[in-house]
Structure 1
Amino acid sequence: MIKGTTKVSIIGAGFVGSTTAYALMLEGLVSDLVIVDINREKAEAEAMDLSHGAAFVKATDVKAGDYEDTKNSDIVIITAGVGPKPGETRLDIVKKNYNIFKSIVPQVVKYSPNAILLVVSNPVDVLTYITYKLSGLPANRVIGSGTVLDTSRFKYSLSDKFSVDARNIHTYIIGEHGDSEMAAWSLTSIAGMGAKEFCLAQGGECDDEFKKATLDEVKNAAYEIINRKGYTNYAVALAVRRIVEAIIRDEKSILTVSSLFEGQYGIEDMYLGIPTVVGREGAEKLLNVPLNEEEISGLKKSSDVLKESIKDLEF
């Protein structure tokens, strides 16, 4: 993709969609950027505002359009939908967004049948699964933002507690992007040491209370932000930019995108966040990382929670 022109379309010009467009433009990742929204004037305003910064970034043709204008996109990012209101969980809004996606996905596939679809709208794992079912595309070309953002939040929390650069902490949040997500403590390492070993070296102890408090901080982060300003946008846009970068540059990066499980860890036919090799073909390989029994059990519970939320939907 990176060798020629690269076209990315964003469906949804809300806080997440517009901030994602801004992040992609700043990075100079795409040559053509199309923004589509049910509110055409909002999409046009965002495109105009971004375009007026043309003298400060690498050349990017930004425009608002309809689905026809997304034709032959390399990547289509779906951020449209209803977000959780204060007091709601991500799973509370499944049916509302399912109805929205039934109108979006067929149009996207009609004009860009060879695109990679990247779902960001919540509940992201469920909506990625729904997109997979509605699109008819192979699983590797339908991915969700998964727990990429949650993993960054986890690294930030640990970096703050340990006074260590977040980029030097290697760990993952896995499972649902939501209340049943888990910290993969068994895979966590800092300077070649496991979390427990590193804590002891620093004169502390990563006991169960510490682990629970840290995970709760990560899980509740979005709710805390939503309660204060009504939405989240900056960090999620950076997470999406990172995923797009891995695809466009064919990086083979390992990211916890939402990928389709096909028997891994005893889980079938559900999307969850798990370390996945991401490159030009999308989710190129879901990795069977060595999780402990508690983490595998948690993944299965995540899957059960998500399957319960969609049992009444018709595909």
Structure 2
Amino acid sequence: MTLSLSKSRKVVIIGTGFVGSSYAYSLLNQGVVNELVLVDLNRDKAEGEARDLNHGMPFGSPMKIRAGGYDECSDADLVVITAGANQAPGETRLDLVSKNAKIFKSIVTSIMNTGFNGLFLVATNPVDVLSHVTLQVSGLPKERVIGSGTILDTARFRYLLSEHFQVDSRNVHAYIMGEHGDSELPIWSHVQIGGVPLSRYAKIDDVENDKEMQDIFINVRDAAYHIIERKGATYYGIGMGLVRLTKAILHNENSIVTISTLLEGEYGINDVFLGVPAVVNENGVRQILELQLNESEQQKLEKSASILKEMTEKALS
């Protein structure tokens, strides 16, 4: 059962690049918040985005939008960090570790110095590692630091499966888990279409090794590379994914979404952020769902966790 909505529903976005501005635009269109503050090192950019968004207010939902500084975080319900260096063509998300870890330590320290006592939502890549950096620097309880994790990968997975089988993507239930990146994995054993297990729906004996299914997953895993090659960056999909998470938090939905959170024994994995299905509400991560994985999936998840743990140790050092 959900509780009453937060009275303020104030969100502060750190970074008004492609992702931050796409997220802000989606928030305006969907009427999720009633106060939105844009923060950027380039104050003119933040001012310009705020003015442009405000001019669309008659076509959207009533809300307060303005540019501001870190002081605006003091009474924010949610701070969403999209700032950082972008992923260049040919560069993996993990290649961004050293550059963005330094940026994040400064950003999070500045936010916490305001007395911020809300929730963090991290979108900057590598999101799993930077979520861990945010947790360590902020000193907040683990449930109040959420990474966007594999929410977009899961959406891509559901979309491509729906396209292949010609069904509404909202009737496809499937998860991508692990790193938001090259070591992520599809949980084939839990894919369902309209409640029917994929193996039975598609009459495939070995889904995990089926060529067509493998091709679908490869297109999910490599989607960002394909988009970056063609247009330089990805931002619409993740912008809408962040709005979905914002709704789950501010509307206290207790929704199950694949986010990056700290594992402490779940799936036999400790002290690493990675994408898993979890229940999210106004207090943050209420509960991590432990799916019953098959042996292959468990091994791949552990491998993904080990890769992230190594990179996280470098970022935190």
Distance, in Å, in 2 between the alignment partners of 1:83 and 1:265 is 31
CA–CA distance in structure 1, aligned partners of residues 112 and 288 of structure 2: 24
Q: Please give the root-mean-square deviation of Cα atoms over the aligned residues, in Å.
A: 1.5
Aligned to 1:59: 62
Matched, 1:179 2:182: yes
Who is 1:87 aligned against? 90
- TM-score, reference length from structure 1: 0.96
How many matched pairs?
313
1:26 aligns to 2:29 (yes or no) = yes
Residue in 1 that maps onto 2:157: 154
The whole-number CA distance in structure 2 between the counterparts of 1:218 and 1:81 is 24
**In structure 2, which of residues 199, 205, 220 is the aligned counterpart of residue 218 of structure 1?**
220
Given candidates 36, 50, 53, the residue that maps to 1:50 is 53
Task: Write the mapping of 1:87-106 to structure 2, written as runs, cut at 5 A.
Answer: 87-106=90-109
State the SS of the aligned residue for 1:275: strand
Partner of 2:248: 246
Question: Could you tell which deviates more after superposition, 288-297 or 235-244?
Answer: 288-297
Deviates more, 1:257-266 or 1:206-215: 206-215
Give the superposition deviation at 1:292: 1.2
Q: Secondary structure at the match of 1:82?
A: coil
Distance across 2 between alignment mates of 1:217 and 1:208: 14
Q: CA deviation at 1:42?
A: 0.5
Cα offset, 1:112, TM superposition: 4.8
The Cα shift of 1:255 comes to 0.2
Describe how 1:1-315 pairs up with structure 2 within 5 A.
Answer: 2-200=5-203, 206=207, 207-314=209-316
CA shift, 1:113, in A, is 2.6
Gaps of 5+ in 1: none
CA–CA distance in structure 1, aligned partners of residues 210 and 307 of structure 2: 24
| Superimposed CA distance per residue, residues 240-299 of structure 1 (whole angstroms, 9 cap, x where no aligned partner) | 000000001111000001011001111100001101000011111111111111111111
1:191 CA drift (Å):
2.0
For residue 181 of structure 2, what is the amino acid of its counterpart?
G
Counterpart AA for 2:194: A
Distance 1:313 1:21 in 2: 29
TM-score (norm 2): 0.96
What secondary structure is seen at the aligned counterpart in 1 of 2:167?
coil
State the 1:205 CA deviation: 8.1
Q: Percent identity?
A: 47
